[in-house]
Amino acid sequence: MNSNKRLTSPIILVLICGILATSFWACTPVYEGRPTAFPTEAPTDTLEPTATNTFTPAPTSTMTPTPTLTPTPTLVPTPTSTSTPTPIPTRLANLPVLTTGSQIVDWSYYYVTRKENAENGTLLNLSGMVSFQLMDRGIHSETIQVLGKDVTVFYLRVRHEFNETFSEVKLILTGFYGTNLEIRNLPADGSTYISVHSRRATDLFEPWKLHQEWTLPPSQREPLFNTYRLSELEQYLRNLPEQVILLADHPVILQRDSWNQLYQDMDRISASAARFSPFFAFNEFNQMTGQTTMAVVWQNYLGSGIDIPADQINKMVFSADYLIFVTP
């Protein structure tokens, strides 16, 4: 009986241990390769790249600048190169009756006041007195560069009839070093004075005599030539009658021996720089290289009566050593 009990107890223990082992294995999950049961992180939608998560800016037209987006008025030439305090209305002068005794003086008149040739026939010097029609009653200005310096040039708007073709001409009076200067602010130096001869149309007009008297020393020409400051000339122009003819005398061709002195004058005296610069050419080193096309056009016209080229119409420039105003 006791031996039976000793055999039964180990058997019962074995059965209990078997039951417990079976229960443990039943409660433990069995992994059979199912990917969703592993504890590793499964991919989600937030990890997938999408277009909304890419913040690269899309190219737009504003990111490609073009010249049209930055307009600058200086790229387009405008009439502002001729600066006047206020616009001067056009007021064409009427022609008075004037003669030299043998020739009618009209808008096409000119007279060669000096012509000198070398022995071989080469032209050395040529000056002319040219008639002009006033286009208004004001003094205009613009800034140019002469020998590397800014020069404010003062001029009259006039016309001349070149072989039955009217062309506007800039008639240079004087100039001052500086940019866009105004007449009322000019320094009181020699460049501000303009010599003027006034006469009546009823008096016999003798251009050769006037030119001869101009070549006299200044003290001897005073009775015939008055000296006006630019501001005084401006007022003189406003008071002119409707009938008036203007004449101006100036050299257009100058002999080569005088060029060195002319260069020095143009470099030191603003009035000379303004008046002679239309007739002389310079290279990029400010060296005088000869006379300009403008000078040759005037030479051909005054010396031989040759028409001015079509591309020079309304672009002509002349200068004035002195002015002659003839009124009824």
Average pLDDT for 32-58? 42
Q: Is the pLDDT of residue 34 over 90?
A: no
| Nearest Cα to Cα of residue 130 among 274, 310, 264, 251 | 251
Least confident of 74-88, 138-152, 245-259: 74-88
Q: Is the pLDDT of residue 37 over 80?
A: no
Q: What percent of the chain has pLDDT over 70?
A: 74
Q: What percent of the chain has pLDDT over 90?
A: 69
Tokens representing 42 are 């499964």
Q: Tell me how far CA of residue 47 lies from CA of 42, 43, 57, 208, in angstroms.
A: 10, 7, 22, 103
- List, in order, residues 6 or more apart from 299 with CB less than 8 Å away: 123, 126, 252, 253
Rounded to two decimals, what is the model's pTM? 0.74
CA distance 72 to 308: 36
CA distance 195 to 322: 5
pLDDT confidence band for 297 (50 / 70 / 90): very high
pLDDT, residue 282, reads 96
Per-residue DSSP letter, 137: S
Cβ of 177: how many Cβ atoms within 10 Å? 16
pLDDT, residue 188, reads 82
pLDDT, residue 145, reads 96
CA distance 107 to 276: 24
Q: Is the pLDDT of residue 74 over 90?
A: no
| Nearest Cα to Cα of residue 107 among 210, 306, 245, 302 | 245
Cite the beta strand spans of the chain per DSSP E: 110-117, 123-134, 140-146, 149-162, 165-177, 193-200, 226-229, 245-253, 280-282, 288-291, 316-319, 322-327
Helix (H) / strand (E) element for 235: namely helix 230-238
- List, in order, residues 6 or more apart from 256 with CB less than 8 Å away: none
Beta bridge partners of 94: 243
- What is the pairing mode between strands 193-200 and 322-327? parallel
pLDDT confidence band for 252 (50 / 70 / 90): very high
- Say which amino acid occupies 181: L
pLDDT, residue 17, reads 47
Average pLDDT for 85-95? 87
| Model pLDDT for residues 106-153, shown as the tens digit of each residue | 999 999 999 999 999 999 999 999 999 999 999 999 999 999 999 999
Distance of CA 77 to the CA centre of its chain: 6
The 3-state DSSP class for residue 13 equals helix
Q: Where are the domains of the chain?
A: 2-37, 81-327
| Model pLDDT for residues 164-210, shown as the tens digit of each residue | 999 999 999 999 999 999 999 898 888 999 999 999 999 999 999 99
Average pLDDT in the chain:
82
- List, in order, residues 6 or more apart from 135 with CB less than 8 Å away: 90, 91, 92, 93, 157, 158, 159, 168
pLDDT, residue 11, reads 53
pLDDT, residue 150, reads 97
CB of 181 closer than 8 Å to CB of 154 = no
- List, in order, residues 6 or more apart from 207 with CB less than 8 Å away: 100, 111, 113, 129, 247, 249
pLDDT confidence band for 59 (50 / 70 / 90): very low
Q: Is the pLDDT of residue 67 over 50?
A: no
Per-residue DSSP letter, 221: H
Average pLDDT for 55-59? 42
Q: Is the pLDDT of residue 328 over 80?
A: yes
Cα dihedral sign for 207, 218, 299, 303?
A: positive
- What is the pairing mode between strands 165-177 and 316-319? parallel
pLDDT, residue 279, reads 98
Stronger pLDDT, 256 or 79, i.e. the higher one: 256
Q: Is the pLDDT of residue 81 over 90?
A: no
pLDDT, residue 223, reads 84
